[in-house]
């Protein structure tokens, strides 16, 4: 097929095959380029083309992508299934979010959304548990599960950290969660923290009669994460937590395989996602990052607070709906709402996101004037009140911890 030029990658009559991966992009072409030319270059550079006309000798499999729709600044590109290595997210992303992100033919480009075809989607494992953690790990079929991350996020000793966990669990929280930058530092080594926290967890379970669990951050190089996952299973944990963006998807896939053997669930923290998704005109949307996390096997994923919290959020509700929706039988994902939450925000959060979520609060628990145990009680009370349909102010008449939290934070969104 001699004489391939990038114009050959545009066909507005093309009807994608069921097996094609279809991607939507927002594109701002370079100053001297038409949208058609830019769309062609996107399809070309993300599949098998380059900037120059090619003289190809002999017969080569045609793996060209096709830009088949242009609507204002949005284009859609269809990729043939043979372009992709099944089950390799790294390879898929090197196509659809690779060189095109930096090529001079576009000023800006954002991968907005993907329609995953069945063969490619099911070449990934998906989550082992998904939203079923609410009943398989906990006994919380009718309410959001709750998590708390001790603050300060780093600096607490192992004993202090496990002690905060104990107070939170006894106060009514389901999950103790490490913060994203706490892994295995000298002030709080991983293995000591794992053992002491699960000891505290056992005591809290005994005291409360409720199931409790711990999201221990195993983030590291892939080999170390596997060792840490083994240690979690051996110590009687149910979850590992992974900073999925900073470790990278290939490492997440490796951890997912081991977790399948160990029966562990994966909590995915998304620190650094905003480097990809914060600027609306460029990068990779959180929607697509969430799709990738589900395919690679995250059971719980941070998806924001529907704008109620301290951090910028992209379409939390729409992303959550995608995470719940059927995907060729792959498990769903439990969205985690986190970042600046406190008890006064819970009714509106549940109004926007429903009860099939994990509500995570750090400062909104440990910043309670009467300390962590009271903060944990207040968070749980706000959840119970909301699920029972009772206004917080009314419920707070009988629950002093909630009354103090509302007195302190009201229903304000923090910064």
For residue 64, which of 43, 42, 85 has the smallest C-alpha distance? Answer: 43
Q: Which is nearer to Mg ion, 179 or 277 (CB)?
A: 179
Annotated binding site for Mg(2+): 177, 179-180
Minimum CB separation from Mg ion for residue 352, in Å? 21
Q: Which is nearer to Mg ion, 109 or 334 (CB)?
A: 334
Q: Out of 291, 338, 372, 386, point to the residue binding ligand RUB (CB under 6 A).
A: 338
Contact 126, 294 (CB under 8 A): yes
The phi and psi torsions of 295 (rounded to 5 degrees) equal: -60, -45
Residue with the shortest CB distance to ligand RUB: 362
Task: Tokens 């939203």: give the residue.
Answer: 131
For ligand RUB, what does the binding mask look like between residues 171 and 210, x meaning CB under 6 A?
--------xx------------------------------
Could you say which of 161, 269, 342, 408 is catalytic? Answer: 269
Collect contacts of 203-208 with beta carbons under 8 A, ≥24 apart: 203/166, 204/165, 204/166, 204/169, 204/170, 205/169, 207/170, 208/169, 208/170, 208/172
Alpha helical stretches, state H, 46-157: 89-96, 118-121, 133-136
Verify whether residue 408 is a known catalytic residue. no
Minimum CB separation from ligand RUB for residue 98, in Å? 24
Q: Out of 339, 343, 344, 347, point to the residue binding ligand RUB (CB under 6 A).
A: 339
Q: Which is nearer to Mg ion, 92 or 337 (CB)?
A: 337
H/E stretch holding 203:
helix 190-208
Size of residue set near Mg ion by CB under 5 A: 2
H/E stretch holding 261:
helix 249-262
Whether the CA torsion 85, 86, 90, 96 is positive or negative: it is positive
CA torsion angle 179 384 354 204 (round to 10): 30
Stretch that binds Mg ion, among 16-24, 99-107, 171-179, 237-245 (CB under 5 A): 171-179
Stretch that binds Mg ion, among 122-130, 175-183, 378-386, 391-399 (CB under 5 A): 175-183
What tokens appear for 50 in the block? Answer: 């380059």
Check residue 243 for interaction with Mg ion (CB under 5 A).
no
Binding site for Mg ion (CB under 5 A): 179-180
Residues that bind ligand RUB (CB under 6 A): 149, 151, 179-180, 270, 302, 304, 310-311, 338-341, 361-364
Enzyme catalytic residues: 151, 269
């Amino acid at each position: 097929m001699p004489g391939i030029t990038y114009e050959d990658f545009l066909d507005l009559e093309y009807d994608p095959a069921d097996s094609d991966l279809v991607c939507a992009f927002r594109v701002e072409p370079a100053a001297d380029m038409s949208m058609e030319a830019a769309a062609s270059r996107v399809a070309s550079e993300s599949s098998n083309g380059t900037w120059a006309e090619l003289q190809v000798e002999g017969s080569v499999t045609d793996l060209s992508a096709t830009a088949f729709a242009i609507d204002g600044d949005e284009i859609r590109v269809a990729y043939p299934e043979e372009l992709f290595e099944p089950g390799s997210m790294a390879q898929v992303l090197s196509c659809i979010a690779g060189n095109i992100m930096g090529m001079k033919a576009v000023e800006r480009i954002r991968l907005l959304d993907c329609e995953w075809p069945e063969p490619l989607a099911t070449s990934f494992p998906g989550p082992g548990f998904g939203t079923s953690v609410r009943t398989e790990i906990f006994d919380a079929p009718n309410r959001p599960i709750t998590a708390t991350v001790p603050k300060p996020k780093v600096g607490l000793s192992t004993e202090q950290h496990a002690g905060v966990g104990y107070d939170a669990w006894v106060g009514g929280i389901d999950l103790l969660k490490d913060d994203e930058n706490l892994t295995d530092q000298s002030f709080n080594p991983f293995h000591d923290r794992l053992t002491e926290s699960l000891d505290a967890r056992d005591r809290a379970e005994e005291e409360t009669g409720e199931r409790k669990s711990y999201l221990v951050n195993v983030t590291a190089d892939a080999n170390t994460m596997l060792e840490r996952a083994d240690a979690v299973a051996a110590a009687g944990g149910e979850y590992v937590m992974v900073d999925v963006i900073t470790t990278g998807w290939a490492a997440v896939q490796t951890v997912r395989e081991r977790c399948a053997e160990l029966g562990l669930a994966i909590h995915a923290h998304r620190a650094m996602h905003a480097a990809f998704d914060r600027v609306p005109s460029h990068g990779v949307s959180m929607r697509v990052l969430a799709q990738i996390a589900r395919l690679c096997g995250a059971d719980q994923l941070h998806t924001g607070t529907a704008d109620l919290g301290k951090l910028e959020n992209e379409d939390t509700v729409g992303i959550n709906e995608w995470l719940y929706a059927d995907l060729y039988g792959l498990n769903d994902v439990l969205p985690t709402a986190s970042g600046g939450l406190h008890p006064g925000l819970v009714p509106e959060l549940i109004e926007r996101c429903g009860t099939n979520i994990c509500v995570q609060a750090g400062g909104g628990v440990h910043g309670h004037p009467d300390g962590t145990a009271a903060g944990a009680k207040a968070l749980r009370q706000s959840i119970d009140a909301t699920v029972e349909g009772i206004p917080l102010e009314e419920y707070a008449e009988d629950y002093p911890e909630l009354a103090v939290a509302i007195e302190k934070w009201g229903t304000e969104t923090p910064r």
